[in-house]
Structure 1
Amino acid sequence: MTTNTKNSELIYSLEARPPAMQASFAAIQHVLASFVGIITPTLIIGGVLGLGEHIPYLISMALIVSGVGTLIQARRPFGIGAGMVCVQGTSFAFLGSILAAGFIAKGQGGGPDEILSLIFGVCFLGAFVEIFLSQILSKLKRVITPLVTGIVITIIGISLIKVGITDLAGGFKAPDFGSLENLALGGIVLVSIITFNLSSHPLIRLSSIVLGLIVGFLVAAFMGKISFPDFSSVSLISVPIPFKYGFSFDWTAFIPIAFIYLITAIETAGDITANCVVSKQPIVGASYMKRIKGGVLGDGVNSLLAAIFNTFPNTTFSQNNGVIQLTGVASRYVGYFIGAILIILGLFPIIGAILQQMPKPVLGGATLIMFGTVAAAGVKLLATEELDRRKLLIMAVSFGTGLGVAMNPAVLGELPKVVQNIFGSAITTGGLFAVVMSVLLPDKVAVLSMTDNTEISSGKVSVGS
């Protein structure tokens, strides 16, 4: 059944069942739009924490769990999921906190197994935070606001930019860090992605990051920066093994990750709202709240599965809303095809082994844009707010404290180690200040006295010299 009315640009509505060929083509475009986002956090975490030979397996698990999670969101079993095309993928928001947890395990003398055991242990327990929040979303209006969400998303993007620019220059502790070759290679990827993204062809624009990586990979091969090792030792099939690396816990690693689950619940609610808009579904009323509740619950359950099956927390990808809008295919049954493709890709670890050979400058050229886009999304959300003195004050303190500790971690050097680990995260510090100040500061602030050396006009305040 197609929807082709004058009031809708959709070709296939939410409950329509497109033919297999058209559904497959739509699904491939969704996979192209999300594939790099699903695997990139694993590549970054694996590279920074020195997980080496474990990376292909971790990438396989990321793809398989993303596929299963997408199926859950589309199928909505037992009320878990939004019942829409909500592509699930590894969340960038957790990157800083996961790396911090990994360094805690590493600092205690742990190897890859111990590092992954701690990360997956705290992520498993943290998922219950989002599952709980899904049940009380309607009661968190005071905390879950565009202001708080915008601040946190902006801090996430800005704090991750350091990772992208480090990779572009060659990677952490690289002997040729900052060399002209590395900068040129990363720059080529950057320019390629921008060029492809400006294309008038929808498929090229959607595939801009993938195409940019391909260009970078080919240029790197020409420069002699790629050497394929013997893949004979790589398993033919990746078998999901629950808690393959064990299970451990640490409070200082858990608290920042638990806080990010709060933020991703807010993000997911926004993404599902956007999905409702492009899918021509209501954004008010009981059916809308049911979708939001089910979608956030699905996020939490999928992140629980991710920790069990050895990958990092999942979230709903926002870029796939653009695919729905461009293709005109909102059918949730396309989610079945997306899930199946991702699972098939994940079953073969050779894919992860090949992707592991991606030179750091190539990866950095892509992630720099991706992380910058996250920050820009936060700024865009903040721009929708009417910024009075109260909100500007909350923004100023949140950005100042959060990014301040990220730029100069030594400021916490004299405090207990547990405090350093918790508040050393820009996201945790800035986010906590945003939440606490939003709750404590009164909505109405006193009007500035006209006798002060100020000018108040057109709703704007400018302070005189």
Structure 2
Amino acid sequence: MHNSDLLFNLHDKPSALTSLIAAFQHMLASFVGVITPTLIIASTLELAEYTPYLISMALFVSGIGTAVQTKRIGPIGSGLVAIQGTSFAFISALLLAGNQVKNNGGSPEDILALLFGLTMAGAVVEIVFSLFISQLKRIITPLTTGIVITAIGLSLINVGMTDLAGGFNAEGFGNVSNLGVGAAVLLVIVFCNASSNHWLRLSAIFIGMFLGTLYIAFTHGINLQHLSVLPVIAIPKPFAFGIDFDISLFLPIALIYLFSAIETAGDLTANSLFCKQPTSGPLYLARIKGGILGDGISSLLAGTFNTFPNTTFGQNNGVIQLTGIASRKVGFYVAGLFVAVGFFPVVGGILQAIPKPVLGGATLVMFAMVAVGGLKLLASHALDRRSSLVTACSLGMAIGVMMVPEALSQLPVWLKNVLSSPVTSAGLTAIALDLTLPKMTDTDSSVLMRGDLSKSDENQPVAHEN
């Protein structure tokens, strides 16, 4: 594979300034994804007094996990710029557990103790699962991972478009002003990225978001009142709320950990693809195994330091694609930024104030690039009739649960929580069909080829000799 579209390869070492600019864009792309699950859980379970601390710990653990993934300590980590962050997939299951404690008269501390205990127990499931990845080569194929990557991109596009229109449940959602700013940010990023000047390409996301934020600051103003109530510094304290466990509430979370591991395999495949690294063979499998093990370790740290399950993010794959920087050095800068922001909540509060349309305009194009990466992986392998059926059914399920989520309303809660994720639905469908549909034999292929050729010949005009 040629590296002409990469400015810096995996093992290159760009300058400190270049690394910092690229790392800042990675953080901008992932920041909201890291803190949003915590905001949702804290708001729904009425944990407002602990929200700033929980957000700081989410950012702190994301930084530590990102460093481990990038460094690859022994067998732990993928050795890629794989950003760790709080997973959306667990929100429903954690809310179910938290509400049960709340309904039983438990305090906010009791709720958090159970949630962090379940987080740590589930992490062990993912750690054990990672040990058997080499034996699961039959299900981690270019076909299944390509489908999962595409589903990841499609599901993220939904998030990006919602932000571009103003944000979830925002006043004035979808008005012309929001759409105009989001579209303008998107176009600035696209045209800067298409430039032959590598500094413009490197800074495209930052330039687009800076100009969009500046415009809204001058025309509408930006609310920074929330900064006044933030603590100056947040000190990580292991097991600050204690640990609790409930086996009946653990089972759905354990299952989601397994499907999260499959999603991570897809994210890391996309990362390998964009970094021009192998997407098959021993090195690839070692990266997948180490990456899933790294996810498990990050989630173990998450429960220890008072935050929720972690996973490998797909958002930064789009950043790698757009900036052309795949250097692991950037991954360490990203980790440092997350840890620093975790210690100083006011910094995170400033980033949190970036207007949603600006964020949506930037992330929409990045998330779409992730989907394109999945399609590239699928296109790099011949799609015969069988593979086309698997792809069509899997992506149909992913798009279906996104468009009609109420179709799952009559399912048991644990199954609904699992299948409501487009990525999980696509991945399960792809694996099930890939394992059960009979493969086309060489004879079948040659028959199809002869049939296609004969049909082609029938459509050709008949040549007559003079």
Tell whether the structures are fold-level matches, with TM greater than 0.5. yes
How far did 1:338 drift?
Answer: 5.4
- Whole-Å separation in 2 of the counterparts to 1:76 and 1:340: 16
In structure 2, relative to structure 1, the CA distance for the partners of 1:136 and 1:23 (3 Å cut) is: farther
After alignment, is 170-179 or 100-109 more displaced? 100-109
After alignment, is 37-46 or 374-383 more displaced? 37-46
Question: For the Cα contact (< 8 Å) 1:43–1:55, is it kept in 2?
Answer: no
How far did 1:43 drift?
Answer: 4.4
In structure 1, what is the equivalent of residue 371 of structure 2?
Answer: 375
Aligned runs of 1:167-206 on 2, under 5 Å? 167-206=163-202
Question: For the Cα contact (< 8 Å) 2:56–2:234, is it kept in 1?
Answer: yes
Q: Does 1:86 align with 2:86?
A: no
How far did 1:41 drift?
Answer: 0.3
In structure 1, what is the equivalent of residue 401 of structure 2?
Answer: 405
Question: For the Cα contact (< 8 Å) 2:202–2:323, is it kept in 1?
Answer: no
In structure 2, what is the equivalent of residue 38 of structure 1?
Answer: 30
Question: For the Cα contact (< 8 Å) 2:202–2:324, is it kept in 1?
Answer: no
- Whole-Å separation in 1 of the counterparts to 2:324 and 2:31: 24
Which AA in structure 2 matches 1:68? I
Question: For the Cα contact (< 8 Å) 1:49–1:99, is it kept in 2?
Answer: yes
- Whole-Å separation in 2 of the counterparts to 1:372 and 1:326: 18
In structure 2, relative to structure 1, the CA distance for the partners of 1:73 and 1:46 (3 Å cut) is: closer
In structure 2, what is the equivalent of residue 298 of structure 1?
Answer: 294
3-state secondary structure, aligned to 2:196: coil
Aligned partner of 1:140 among 130, 136, 139: 136
- Whole-Å separation in 1 of the counterparts to 2:372 and 2:322: 19
Q: Does 1:442 align with 2:434?
A: no
In structure 1, what is the equivalent of residue 312 of structure 2?
Answer: 315
- Whole-Å separation in 1 of the counterparts to 2:198 and 2:346: 30
- Whole-Å separation in 1 of the counterparts to 2:133 and 2:384: 26
How far did 1:144 drift?
Answer: 0.2
- Whole-Å separation in 2 of the counterparts to 1:13 and 1:154: 23
Between structures 1 and 2, the one with greater helix share? 2
How far did 1:350 drift?
Answer: 0.6
In structure 2, relative to structure 1, the CA distance for the partners of 1:268 and 1:130 (3 Å cut) is: farther
In structure 2, relative to structure 1, the CA distance for the partners of 1:358 and 1:47 (3 Å cut) is: farther
Question: For the Cα contact (< 8 Å) 1:276–1:283, is it kept in 2?
Answer: no
Q: Does 1:217 align with 2:213?
A: yes
Which AA in structure 1 matches 2:180? A
Cα deviation digits, residues 166-204 of structure 1 (max 9, x gap): 222222222312212222222222222222222323233
In structure 2, relative to structure 1, the CA distance for the partners of 1:59 and 1:188 (3 Å cut) is: farther
3-state secondary structure, aligned to 2:207: helix
In structure 1, what is the equivalent of residue 460 of structure 2?
Answer: none
In structure 2, what is the equivalent of residue 463 of structure 1?
Answer: none
Question: For the Cα contact (< 8 Å) 1:56–1:356, is it kept in 2?
Answer: no
Aligned runs of 1:332-351 on 2, under 5 Å? 339-351=335-347
Which AA in structure 2 matches 1:32? F
TM score, norm. by length of structure 1: 0.77
In structure 2, what is the equivalent of residue 242 of structure 1?
Answer: 238
In structure 2, relative to structure 1, the CA distance for the partners of 1:395 and 1:345 (3 Å cut) is: same
Aligned runs of 1:377-396 on 2, under 5 Å? 377-396=373-392
How far did 1:260 drift?
Answer: 1.7
In structure 2, relative to structure 1, the CA distance for the partners of 1:423 and 1:323 (3 Å cut) is: closer
How far did 1:107 drift?
Answer: 6.7
In structure 1, what is the equivalent of residue 267 of structure 2?
Answer: 267
In structure 2, relative to structure 1, the CA distance for the partners of 1:227 and 1:114 (3 Å cut) is: farther
Question: For the Cα contact (< 8 Å) 1:85–1:334, is it kept in 2?
Answer: no
In structure 1, what is the equivalent of residue 462 of structure 2?
Answer: none
Question: For the Cα contact (< 8 Å) 1:42–1:58, is it kept in 2?
Answer: no
After alignment, is 157-166 or 339-348 more displaced? 339-348
How far did 1:438 drift?
Answer: 0.9
- Whole-Å separation in 2 of the counterparts to 1:324 and 1:358: 21
Which AA in structure 2 matches 1:100? S
Q: Give unpaired runs (5+ residues) of structure 1.
A: 1-8, 461-465
3-state secondary structure, aligned to 1:90: strand
Aligned runs of 1:32-181 on 2, under 5 Å? 32-45=24-37, 51=43, 56-73=52-69, 75-82=71-78, 84=79, 86-90=81-85, 94-95=87-88, 97-101=89-93, 104=96, 122-181=118-177
- Whole-Å separation in 1 of the counterparts to 2:387 and 2:28: 35
How far did 1:25 drift?
Answer: 3.5
What RMSD, in angstroms, separates the aligned Cα atoms of the two structures?
A: 4.1
How far did 1:252 drift?
Answer: 3.6
How far did 1:214 drift?
Answer: 1.5
In structure 2, relative to structure 1, the CA distance for the partners of 1:182 and 1:283 (3 Å cut) is: closer
In structure 1, what is the equivalent of residue 3 of structure 2?
Answer: none
Which AA in structure 1 matches 2:145? T
How far did 1:72 drift?
Answer: 2.8
After alignment, is 361-370 or 265-274 more displaced? 265-274
After alignment, is 296-305 or 424-433 more displaced? 296-305
Identity between Structure 1 and Structure 2 (%) = 37
- Whole-Å separation in 1 of the counterparts to 2:214 and 2:60: 27
Which AA in structure 1 matches 2:23? V
Question: For the Cα contact (< 8 Å) 2:42–2:51, is it kept in 1?
Answer: no
How far did 1:145 drift?
Answer: 0.5
